[in-house]
Amino acid sequence: MSLSSSLQNYISDLGLVAPEQPSIKFVRALQSAHVARYSFNSLAVVLGEEISLDLDAISQKIVTRGLGGYCFEHNKLTFELLKALGYDVQLKLARVLNNNFEREAGRTHRVTLLTLEGVSYLVDTGFGGNGPIAPLRLDINTSQTAGLDLYRVLDKGNGEYDIQVMKGEEYFTLYRFDHAIYSDADCALGHFYSYKNPNAVFLKNLMVTLKRKNQTVVLVNAELTIRDCQGEHKLSIDTPQSLGSILASEFDIALEPAVVEHLFIRFLAPMLAVDKVETMS
C-alpha cells in the first residue's frame, strides 16, 4: 500500500504502522495518538494567518512544524489517511451547539463517518477538550467511555444525530451532524467563516488543547485547566512569560516573545483586568 509523503509522515510521526486490512483497533490507536500529540488551537486564526486546507500544507503545519490547528485541518488529515488505507469513510459537517439550542448554528465542524463490518463510527480528531479520544459507535442512547469522558449519541430524527458528553451528572450536547453528502467545497465555506468572520469564536479567544488517555490540558485565554483522574486544577496566567512557558511546556509550541506578548495583551490582559475589578468591588 503506497501513501503520499504527507500521509506517510503523519502515520510515522505517530509511531503507527499501516494495517494490512482495515481494523477498528488501528482507528482507535490513530485517534488516541493524534489528539494527544497534535494540539487543537486557534493560534493561526487569532494571528491572522492564511490557513490552507491543502493536504500537504496541513501535514506541514500540524505534523512537521507541530503547530496544531482546528477541525477542518485535523479531521481532513485523519480522513485522507483512512481513505488512503482503504477504509469506508464519509465526510460530514456538524452544527456546534454546546448545549445552546436557541441560537442558529451553521455547519462549522468537520467530522468523519466510518463504516466497518456493518458498524458505523464517528471519528473526530478536531474538537478540542470535549472531543472523544476514540471512535464513537452510532449506538443510539448508549453510554460509551473514551478516556476520562462518557459520551452518547442521540437520534434526533430526520437523519440528524447529537453527540453528547457527560458534564457533572447530566449530558451536554456538543454538536449535531446529519447524513447529507458533503465535499471539500462545503468545508471551504465553513472554514472561511470560522477564521474570517469577526463573530467566529476562534477569532475571539485564544484556545489550545491536548487530550491524552488520562489527562486533558486546556488553555482558554488567561486560564489553564488540567483535568485528570484526581480531578480538575486551574491556573491563572498573569504574565507574558508564563504564557510562553506554558505554551512550550504543556503544548510543545515555541513562539517568538513578541508574538506571545501580543497574544497576552490581546486575550489575557483584558480578562485579568476584569477579574481584578471584580475582586476589588
Listed by start position, the domains of the chain span 5-196, 206-280
User: Do the first three CATH levels of 5-196 and 206-280 match, i.e. the same topology?
Assistant: yes
Kindly state the cell numbers that stand for 88.
469506508
Residue 11 to residues 29, 40, 143, 147, 226, Cα–Cα distance (Å): 11, 18, 30, 21, 27
DSSP 104: -
Q: Where are the beta strands (DSSP E) in the chain?
A: 40-41, 88-96, 107-116, 119-123, 136-137, 144-146, 149-157, 160-167, 170-178, 207-212, 215-220, 223-228, 231-236
pLDDT given at position 271: 86
Do 121 and 24 contact (CB within 8 A), yes or no? yes
pLDDT given at position 26: 98
Nearest CA among 203, 186, 217, 226 for reference residue 91: 186
What does R_g of the chain's alpha carbons equal in angstroms? 19
Write out the H or E segment, with its range, that includes residue 105: none
Residue 13 to residues 9, 71, 106, Cα–Cα distance (Å): 6, 19, 34
Nearest CA among 35, 38, 47 for reference residue 68: 38
Q: Are strands 119-123 and 223-228 parallel, antiparallel or unpaired?
A: unpaired
CATH superfamily of 206-280: Arylamine N-acetyltransferase (3.30.2140.10)
Mind listing the pLDDT tens digit of every residue in the chain (281 residues)? Answer: 689 999 999 999 999 999 999 999 999 999 999 999 999 999 999 999 999 999 999 999 999 999 999 999 999 999 999 999 999 999 999 999 999 998 889 999 999 999 999 999 999 999 999 999 999 999 999 999 999 999 999 999 999 999 999 999 999 999 999 999 999 999 999 999 999 999 999 999 999 999 999 999 999 999 999 999 999 999 999 999 999 999 999 999 999 999 999 999 999 999 887 665 555 55
Helices (H) and strands (E) in the chain, counts: 10, 13
Q: Which fold has domain 5-196?
A: Arylamine N-acetyltransferase fold (3.30.2140)
Kindly state the cell numbers that stand for 20.
494490512
Rounded distance, CA 104 to CA 183, Å?
A: 22
- If phi > 0 it is left, if psi is from -120 to 50 it is alpha, else beta; for residue 196 that is alpha
Rounded distance, CA 109 to CA 105, Å?
A: 10
pTM score, whole prediction: 0.95
